[in-house]
Amino acid sequence: MKHAAPAKTNAARILDGLKIAYELRPYEVDLEDLSAPNVARKIGMPVEQVFKTLLTVAPTGEHFFAVIPGDDELDLKKLALAAGVKKVELASLKDVEPLTGYIRGGVTVMGAKKAFPAYADETIELHDAISVSAGLRGLQIILAPVDYLRAAEAEVADLTKAVVR
């Protein structure tokens, strides 16, 4: 039985418009476990190459995207410093879809309802290819980090906590 090609998402259309090469990689969604390590296992990539997109908010009401490796934790102080604000916190889950147009497990910078400033963890540049959500649960986009940074208009910064492994 032949599988249908995954549907084009806004993120994929943006990459097409920029003439950026990418691969759409579908996976079986587990609503009990939307974690990056689980997604990484399902798409056959190391978790440090599967980047998750988090929406944050400053006390001023400004929002910022943070794009970090799937096995890392966002350091809110480092993001605030990179964004030039006093502090940030994770946006409330109930605010994510109205602000971005995406649901948890399917958030991506590209094609979001509002173009909030985006910051990607500096480790993104260590890889030949990374994976980010295509804007739907169950579909990842795999592309070169330099192309992702250009398409997402993301700045690179140190964003993660030192995690003892």
The reply to whether 101 falls in a domain is: yes
pLDDT of residue 163 exceeding 80: no
Residue 158 is which amino acid?
D
Give the CATH number of the domain where residue 51 resides: 3.90.960.10
The reply to whether 1 falls in a domain is: no
Domain tally, the chain: 1
Per the CB < 8 A criterion, the answer to whether 128 and 91 are in contact is no
Q: What is the pLDDT of residue 8?
A: 85
The reply to whether 137 falls in a domain is: yes
112-162: pLDDT as tens digits: 999 999 999 999 999 999 999 999 999 999 999 999 999 999 999 999 997
**Burial of 139: CB neighbours in 10 Å, binned 0-12, 13-18, 19+:** buried
The reply to whether 106 falls in a domain is: yes
The reply to whether 6 falls in a domain is: no
The reply to whether 2 falls in a domain is: no
68-102: pLDDT as tens digits: 999 999 999 999 999 999 999 999 999 999 999 99
Choose between 111 and 163: higher pLDDT.
111
The reply to whether 125 falls in a domain is: yes
Domain extent, residue 30, equals: 23-157
11-63: pLDDT as tens digits: 999 999 999 999 999 999 999 999 999 999 999 999 999 999 999 999 999 99
The reply to whether 108 falls in a domain is: yes
Please state, in angstroms and rounded to a whole number, the distance separating the CA atoms of residues 2 and 72.
Answer: 36
Q: What is the pLDDT of residue 158?
A: 97
